[in-house]
Amino acid sequence: MRDITTENITRAVQESWANADDPRLKEVLQRLAHHLHAFIRDVRPSHDEWLAAVDFLWRCGQISDDKRNEFALLSDVMGATSLVDLMNDTPEATVGSVLGPFYTDDSPTVPFGADLVGDNEGDAILLTGVVRDTAGRPIPGAVVDMWQTNSKGVYATQDPTQADDNLRCKQLCDAEGRYAFTTVEPGPYTIPTDGPVGKLVTHMRRSPWRPAHYHFIVKAEGHQPIVTEIFFPHDPYLGSDAVFGVRAPLVRDISPVANSAGPPVATQRRPLHRIDFDFTLMPVAS
């Protein structure tokens, strides 16, 4: 018999994982026991409070399906996703930001200078820049994969009234590592508020809004990919992003094309505005 007490229960749980073959998973579970038990000792939940917490997680599971992961959203609103992102950033590379749930890998590949504006509401903005390595060398053939909402803050993947591939594209950088396309300014939107996580956020008088943003995944052979976003300085939600994705280097002005410092770029549609954003990728150690 083992007499389990408040004094020895943490060690007992840690020892229960001791025979695992996977040393990293063993370490993680033992550290989790340490921190989870420390949290319980600190907060001292009543039975009802603990049952409410378990019920909350059960409801997260109930609303999740192959398109919706409420646990990922819980990680986002707790800042856990962003903390993991920040801790895994490479200081010399472009800072990362949250992937979110609206990425799909099948965006159309468009040519340099392509127009994504189509019939979307909003002025045309030239979004352009250079993908370089950490030594400052351009990376021809790097792939810039971008997805965004329309001006109303809705992604094509959420909205049957938009064409399936509206406002998302992949582009291969040219010989100088440049990408360029015209698009519109995205709108801010709220995280889903109909599930347990969104309801908790609004019940606790937190803002469910995300500031408007472009999402990017930038990849190149022999380099670590980056997942990041671009935000706008005039956005009212910049200081209260529900998922803590805003980083100062990712906030970029939309300038009138007439005042632009960058080189002219030939595009399918004449833009009124321009955003310049360069990406830096870290080579993979060989």
Asked if 210 is part of the footprint of ligand BEZ (rule: CB under 6 A), the reply reads yes
Q: What's the min distance (Å) between Cβ of 89 and ligand BEZ?
A: 17
Residue with Cβ nearer ligand BEZ (82 or 182): 82
Chain residue at closest Cβ approach to Fe ion = 100
Residue with Cβ nearer ligand BEZ (177 or 198): 198
Residue with Cβ nearer Fe ion (100 or 113): 100
Asked if 60 is part of the footprint of ligand BEZ (rule: CB under 6 A), the reply reads no
The site map against Fe ion for 51-90 (x = CB under 5 A) is ----------------------------------------
Asked if 100 is part of the footprint of Fe ion (rule: CB under 5 A), the reply reads yes
Asked if 250 is part of the footprint of ligand BEZ (rule: CB under 6 A), the reply reads no
Task: Determine which residue in the list 76, 185, 235, 276 makes contact with ligand BEZ, applying CB under 6 A.
Answer: 76
Task: For Cα atoms 234, 229, 226, give the angle at the middle one, nearest 5 degrees.
Answer: 155
Asked if 191 is part of the footprint of ligand BEZ (rule: CB under 6 A), the reply reads yes
145 binds, among ligand BEZ, Fe ion, none (CB under 5 to 8 A by kind): none
Residue with Cβ nearer Fe ion (56 or 102): 102
Asked if 73 is part of the footprint of ligand BEZ (rule: CB under 6 A), the reply reads yes
243 binds, among ligand BEZ, Fe ion, none (CB under 5 to 8 A by kind): ligand BEZ
Please give the residue ranges that form the binding site for Fe ion (CB under 5 A).
Answer: 100
